[in-house]
Structures are given as structure tokens and as C-alpha cells.
Amino acid sequence: MHPLKRFVPLDKALHDRAAFDCGKPELNTFIQRNAAQNMKAKLNYTWVLPAAKIPRGEKKPVCAYYTLSICHVERQTLPDEPGKRYPNYPLPVFILARLAVDKRCQGQKLGSVTLISALRRCAILSQGGKVPAIAVILDVPDADALQFYQRFGGFRELKTSEGESSRLFIPMKVVEKL
């Protein structure tokens, strides 16, 4: 299965979510059952990379997807940055909550393409203060995801409470250089 060249907003009328399988049940369930509902409720937004060359009238399989949201983080949870002082109140950030590549497309470097697309979208949204944010936070569900993100450099771990899943931090000034 070969992907199109660009990510588009998820549209349940156009995209075949049911066949998506990245090997991680929680990510499969999200795209299949929750992503469209969350978009409608304005909780987060999901972009998909559909497959190319699908017969007319059929839904396009999803090769990869990512989900973005916004929130605030406490200054105390941020990693120390030399020469950078943040105010002592909650700070706006983007959250890259989910990122997945269908098994049929793995090995084509789509994980990297998907991550870069997500980060660039955050940079575009923050330009001109449309959606102010100081950073992008990545939710890291497991060791495989942590290893994947660490290959890119520039990410630092957030200070989390005991038992919380890991989160990574990348300043918006780094994201804007992509």
C-alpha cells in the first residue's frame, strides 16, 4: 500500500478506519472508534495519510495518522533550559497525543514523515499567535515509542509523577526550524 503525498483531516466518509492496524490495540481502537467523535466534540484533531490508487467509490485506507490537541503544563514540569525562564503559571503547549503507521506501510519511513508533518503543523498553527504555544509535548505510551522519538534528538523528558506515562518536550523554537 502506497500513501498519498500529504496528510488530510480525518473524514469518516472518505477514510477506511476499520482496516487500520498498527500492531498497538489502543492506537487502532482510537482511530477506529474515537478519532472522528473527538474531532466533532473539538477535543482533538486527527490528520491521516490516505493510501493512493484506490478504486473510485471505495474508502481510502489510512497509512498513518497523528492526533494533536492543546493544553497547559505547569512550569515546574518543564525541563531546565539554560537562559530560559518561564512565568510561574500554566503554559500553553501542543500535545502530540497519538502517532501510528499501519503495518502494511511500516518500513517506508512513514513514522518519520508523520512526526515531521505533526511538528510542522504545530509550527504553522503557532505562527502569528494563531494558537500560542511554547512547545510540543509528545505522549510516549511505551518503550518502542520512546526509542523512536529519541532517534530524532531535540526531545527532552518532562518531569512526571510516579506512575505516569512518559512525556517528551520540544521547544517551539526548535520545531519552527524544521
Tell me the one-letter amino acid at 82.
P
Distance, CA of 110 to CA of 123 (rounded, Å): 20
**Positions marked active-site:** 149
Per DSSP, 51 falls in state B
- For residue 166, the cross-strand partners are 140
At a CB cut-off of 8 Å and minimum separation 6, what does 33 contact?
none
Distance, CA of 65 to CA of 94 (rounded, Å): 16
Distance, CA of 155 to CA of 93 (rounded, Å): 14
- Assign 122 to helix, strand or coil: helix
Closest CA to 1 of 68, 47, 45, 58: 58
